[in-house]
Homo-oligomer: A and B are copies of this chain.
């Protein structure tokens, strides 16, 4: 089980980036995303719409407290990675993950990350140690954790499916 915790979502301002975080989580084979911050039903609805159309059992939830989410996952023995540009290199972190534990919580920061998130994480870890994008950092982290498996993955139960094609758009509608 891979869960992504998106901190401090702000309606309006963060809507598109948070949606990209959620859809990247799904496409890169995480199982669930939990939003904190504003309870933004439009983001939740649009992610659920993608799941309905494109398949899989990806879940999106809201919590009013990141502290509770972290505490619960610690209790359930999840390994916790916090993505931050200040952290240790992700390529080192991925080697240190316990392969006997399937459960990982990946924390993706918001506008300001409180100190207790750094303390709660087993790894504060960075993709390139340069400023760029939480979406890019999350994609790269999941890609490395998956060994690239997401590139070959298919979701079989969606209404829509793409037939990959070098020339043009080709989509099958199973409805």
Chain B residues with CB below 8 A from A90, complex form: 151
Instruction: Give the distance to chain B from A160, nearest Cβ to Cβ, in Å.
Output: 9
Main secondary structure of the interface of A (DSSP, over half): mixed
Whole-angstrom distance from the CB of A4 to the nearest CB of chain B?
A: 13
**Interface size counted on chain A using CB atoms at 8 A:** 52
State the oligomeric state as a number of copies.
2
Give A contacts to B, CB under 8 Å: 16-17, 20, 23-24, 26-28, 50, 54, 84-91, 118, 123-133, 135-140, 143, 148, 150-153, 155, 162, 164-171
Minimum Cβ distance to chain B for residue A48 (Å): 13
Q: Which residues of B contact A155 (CB under 8 A)?
A: 130
Q: Are A164 and B86 in contact (CB under 8 A)?
A: yes
With known contacts A17-B16, A167-B118, A167-B124, A24–B151 Cβ distance under 8 A: no
Q: A91-B148, A168-B86 are in contact. Are A26 and B129 (CB under 8 A)?
A: no
Q: Which residues of chain B are near A88, meaning CB under 8 Å?
A: 164-166
